Homo-oligomer: A and B are copies of this chain.
Amino acid sequence: MRIRMDVDLEKGTIWTNPLPESAVWLGGRALADSIVVQEVPPACHPLGSRNLLVFAPGLFAGTSMPTASRLSVVGKSPLTGGIKESNVGGMAGMSLARLNIAAVVIRGSSTQGRSRLLIVRSQSAELIDAPELHGLGNYRTVEILKKRFGDGVVVLSVGPCGEMKMAAATIAVTDVNGRPCRQAGRGGLGGVMGSKGLKAIVIDPEGAKLHKGADPGAFAEAVKEYTGILQSSKKTAFWRENGTAGLVDVGHARGSLPTRNFTSGAYDKKDGVNAERLKTLTAQRQGAMGHACMKGCVVRCSNIFNAPDGRYLTSGLEYETITMMGPNLDIDDLDTIAQIDFRCDDYGMDTIEIGATLGILSDTDLFRLGDREKAVQLIDEIGKGTVLGRILGQGATTTGRVFGITRVPAVKGQSLAAHEPRSLKGLGVTYATSPQGADHTSGFVVEEPFSREGHTERSRKAQINMAIVDSLGLCQFTGLRDEYELFGRLMGALTGTVPSPEQVRSLGQEALRQERRFNEAAGIGPGQDRLPEFMRSEALPPNNNAFDVGDEDLDRVFGDYPE
């Protein structure tokens, strides 16, 4: 039986309840959304005690399904002011699920210490004080926690950025190697965790059990089919070989690679930062490609990147980080980017948001594109919380405000990711209309990238599908989207109650509907469903396209949405 665990930091109490029957198919984003929408006052301050922070493994997490144990983290975002789901790999989703925990709900703000730990074990949980961890980076924090609680623990933690309640702060999750290199990155939920005085959640997986499903035979059969699809997919082979860094060449070729503060879609120096270069360096330095972030993954898009001396530098050097900190800042070497990536993981900040932030800072005299040393130094300022660092740590929108910068690539307060909507107009529709702010994982659309027509339906469909994927715990790199029939069979065999394909679809629809309603009650009206002005007025080289999808087409994405 799946349970929900509530943890009140203010009172120092923990209690559990079984999930209600109505939640039989709910997991991940859908489950966490429903808790936040029902229990968080939309007008509350995101860093105040009435906000909740919900950790919910996807429905398939903890089963034998590979690449399907992701974790949703949901709360009211200090970055967007709306509801935010940040989705993360690593080992936390699987571990919680195998302890039968469908959701951990963090309530209140600590009154008993500013650095609390939540220890979750098979049959118990406790809150303890750990003042000695205050101010420490994620790597050191995890090292200390492993010494204390055992090497096998899985840790979710915040670094100094989260403790400083920054709107670009992340929550780090340990990977298969126990390193805090996977980040629930977007939307500043690390700031929410910090505001509650919760430094880390330590999961002891002892006693964790594989979920075999209500009908183990049928479930195993369906999992076999699912796994077969993944294993035979060309995309899987591409990700395993190149990692997400494989997208650098793809983006460059189609002109959608954010370059030099979103002034170009192609980067003349891309060979210094693409997958070929990454593979060469990884081979030379005994790093790894085809690395998995969670156990049993068949995609294995991650990597381990070592320093020139062969020592570990960072893991999960991903496309988004490479592009936002590389081409977008005119930095063309992976070593600098890897150093930045390590620091961001350690301090706990979103590489996408901060890459966009340093990009726009080049409109002031505080940063010059291409200045590697200064880029690293500014990351350190954020991690140390200097006055300038405090600004940058709030992300691009606030930094733009403070310095009067008008050219800010952001929607609803959140920066665009490393995919240019002027060369991917369907994705531009998602950026504009997603209740999550500009978010490439909310509904990627690649069809007819330069057309201004036809994206309303594509984006809506993609957003619904991603809401399903995020609820089931699937990784986006499974490539599976509208396999409602297969999903339905898996859900049925797992839970004992078989949903129709339409019921699977409505899972995604309902999640989006709830998110939109929450945002509206929080004051984020449909008028915010717009890309930044400069994307309509500036044509983007080399394709020389501006974003020109009509406002009426943007408004129809949810305006036509069935109630």
Contact = CB atoms under 8 A, between A and B. Distances in A.
Contact of A525 (B78, B165, B525): B525
A402 B402 contact: yes
A40 to B, nearest CB: 12
B403 A390 contact: yes
Interface string A180-191: 000000000001
Interface stretch (A44-52, A90-98, A332-340, A371-379): A44-52
Contacts of A398: 398, 401-402
Contacts of A165: 404
A388 interface: yes
Contacts of A522: 527
A217 to B, nearest CB: 49
Interface in A388-434: 388, 390-391, 394, 398, 401-404, 406
Interface in A508-563: 519-530, 532-534, 551
B390 A533 contact: no
Contacts of A314: none
A438 to B, nearest CB: 14
A530 B525 contact: no
A394 B403 CA distance: 9
Contact of A404 (B166, B525, B530): B166
A387 interface: yes
A432 to B, nearest CB: 10
B524 A195 contact: no
Interface in A71-100: 78
A136 to B, nearest CB: 18
Nearest to A109: B406
A472 B403 CA distance: 36
Given A527-B521, A530-B523, A390 B402 contact: yes
A167 interface: yes
A62 to B, nearest CB: 35
A42 interface: yes
Contact of A527 (B42, B47, B387, B404): B42
Contacts of A164: 404
Nearest to A386: B387
A3 interface: no
A394 B405 CA distance: 12
B520 A527 contact: yes
Contact of A387 (B41, B388, B551): B388
Chain A interface SS verdict (over half)? loop
Given A387-B387, A524-B527, A527-B522, A191 B45 contact: no
A19 interface: no
A402 B406 contact: no
B43 A533 contact: yes
A404 B164 CA distance: 7
Nearest to A44: B533
A48 B523 contact: no
Contacts of A403: 390
Interface in A167-203: 167, 191, 195
Interface in A301-323: none
A196 B404 CA distance: 12
Given A47-B406, A391-B391, A401 B527 contact: no
B523 A528 contact: yes
Contact of A406 (B45, B521, B533): B45
B401 A394 contact: yes
B406 A48 contact: yes
A44 B551 CA distance: 13
A198 B516 CA distance: 40
Contact of A50 (B391, B519, B533, B551): B533
Interface of A: 41-45, 47-48, 50, 78, 164-167, 191, 195, 387-388, 390-391, 394, 398, 401-404, 406, 519-530, 532-534, 551
Given A387-B387, A394-B402, 18 more contacts: A41-B533, A43-B551, A44-B533, A45-B534, A48-B533, A50-B533, A166-B404, A167-B401, A195-B404, A195-B406, A387-B388, A390-B391, A390-B402, A520-B525, A522-B527, A523-B524, A523-B529, A525-B526
24 contacts: A41-B533, A42-B527, A43-B533, A43-B551, A45-B533, A45-B534, A47-B404, A78-B401, A165-B404, A191-B404, A195-B404, A390-B403, A394-B402, A398-B401, A402-B402, A519-B527, A520-B527, A521-B527, A522-B527, A523-B525, A523-B528, A523-B529, A524-B525, A525-B526
> Which A-B residue pairs are the 6 nearest by beta carbons?
A525-B525, A523-B528, A165-B404, A523-B527, A43-B530, A45-B406
